[in-house]
Amino acid sequence: MTGASGSLLFLSQADVVRLLDIDRLLESLAAAFVELSAGRASVPPRIAARTDTGGLLGAMPGYISGVLEAKVVSVFPQNHARGLPSHQGLIALFDENTGAPLAVMDGVAITAIRTGASAAVAARWLARPEASTLAILGAGVQGRSNLAAFPRVRDFKEIRIASRNVATAEALAAENPRARPVATFKEAVQGADVVCCCTDAREPVIKYEWLVSGAHVSSVGGTFGPELDPQTIGAGMIFVESRDAVRQPPPAGAHELQGLRAESVTEIGEVIAGTQPGRTAPDQLTVYKSTGHAVEDAAAARLVYERAVAEGAGQRLAL
């Protein structure tokens, strides 16, 4: 990926939201997962600096399919009480041949959109084809991202949304005619074919006994603690973006997967490529545990950058 010499393209959050097409992103993410699992990406484990107030600043560099990028993202859960997003950050793109900086773009929208879209990609390959009921636990940024992405991979007839804040569940449900708010996580999960956990929980938000036979469970939250209960992890066939979710401690790894053998989980890129099986039976419990990955940022940032250049969007800055 190359750009104009000596100039830097700046793309705002509004630019990113307008330029990032979710349907194209789903296809781009699927290809990125295949590249990652095939060993054709250079992505070191992310690192994070932690503050005395409980926040963290993470760095996620990566190179895949001609995209050289780095995301710097802060995670401050206490921001919810301040009316601020818990995740904030920037993504920088660089020329793969010279290392020259090409663009800086908002990372908040990309992080939100690519996380829900990545989970939807996994559901496309893992959820039962006839899945018709979707439960979304959490009505914040990720709840909204999952609501935007998951109906693109299955024709859900009913969507249930639950949140610790009833008003936010009601507001999110109003954005989709098939969605309705429910009072509790348990009510949302029971009978649902696909369950999306999108919380900043420090302890599990679901119980295995709530799940129907053949459910697909997606977990994109749990940065600061386990979002899924041990019984669900123990009973399910586990899928991840990268086996580093097992090998690395949090925040690079997943709280729920610590102590598992790396070979006991399957990378979603292997399923897409056909080198490893996905769901093998209608009554099987499949679990996708996301920790977020730099190839997702690269896939999304590339789409945004290429469309911005084609349309002349954003602002050019001299370095």
pTM listed for this prediction: 0.94
Residues in the chain: 319
pLDDT in tens, the chain (319 residues): 766 557 999 999 999 999 999 999 999 999 999 999 999 999 998 899 999 998 999 999 999 999 999 999 998 988 878 988 888 999 999 999 999 999 999 999 999 999 999 999 999 999 999 999 999 999 999 999 999 999 999 999 999 999 999 999 999 999 999 999 999 999 999 999 999 999 988 999 999 999 999 999 999 998 889 999 999 999 999 999 999 999 999 878 999 999 999 999 999 999 999 999 999 999 999 999 999 999 999 999 999 999 999 999 999 999 8
Residues forming beta bridges with residue 89, ordered by sequence position: 73
Radius of gyration of the chain, Cα coordinates, nearest whole angstrom: 19
Long-range contacts (CB closer than 8 Å, 24 or more residues apart) made by 224-231: 224/77, 224/200, 225/201, 225/255, 226/201, 226/202, 226/255, 226/256, 227/197, 227/199, 227/201, 227/255, 227/256, 228/197, 228/204, 228/256, 228/287, 228/289, 229/204, 230/204, 230/256, 231/207
Q: Are 233 and 207 in contact (CB under 8 A)?
A: no
Predicted local distance difference test score (pLDDT) of residue 144: 97
Predicted local distance difference test score (pLDDT) of residue 5: 58
- Domain map of the chain by residue range? 7-111+295-318, 116-292
Predicted local distance difference test score (pLDDT) of residue 85: 83
User: How many other CB atoms sit within 10 Å of the CB of residue 117?
Assistant: 28
CATH number of the 7-111+295-318 domain? 3.30.1780.10
Counting Cβ atoms within 10 Å, is residue 225 exposed (0-12), middle (13-18) or buried (19+)?
middle
Q: Which of 306, 287, 274 is nearest to 33 (CA)?
A: 274
Residues with Cβ < 8 Å from 305, sequence gap 6 or more?
1, 9, 11, 93, 102, 103, 105
Residue 150 CA to residue 206 CA, distance in Å, equals 19
Predicted local distance difference test score (pLDDT) of residue 66: 93
Composition of the chain by helix, strand, coil, percent to 5: 35, 25, 40
3-state secondary structure string across 30-72: HHHHHHHHCCCEECCCCEEEECCCCCEEEEEEEEECCEEEEEE
Residue 103 CA to residue 10 CA, distance in Å, equals 6
pLDDT 10s digits, 123-144: 999 999 999 999 999 999 999 9
Omega before 250 within 30 of 0, i.e. cis: no
Greatest extent of the chain over all pairs of C-alpha atoms, in Å: 59
Residues with Cβ < 8 Å from 34, sequence gap 6 or more?
269, 272, 273
Predicted local distance difference test score (pLDDT) of residue 224: 83
Distance (Å) of CA 246 to CA 183, 251, 257: 34, 11, 5
Pairing status of strand 87-94 against strand 101-106: antiparallel
Predicted local distance difference test score (pLDDT) of residue 183: 96
Pairing status of strand 7-11 against strand 315-318: antiparallel
Q: Are 294 and 71 in contact (CB under 8 A)?
A: yes
Of 3.30.540.10, 3.40.50.720, 3.40.50.970, 1.10.10.60, the CATH number of 116-292 is 3.40.50.720
Residue 258 CA to residue 249 CA, distance in Å, equals 7
- Residue 35 is encoded by which pair of tokens? 């590249």
Predicted local distance difference test score (pLDDT) of residue 200: 87
Counting Cβ atoms within 10 Å, is residue 202 exposed (0-12), middle (13-18) or buried (19+)?
middle
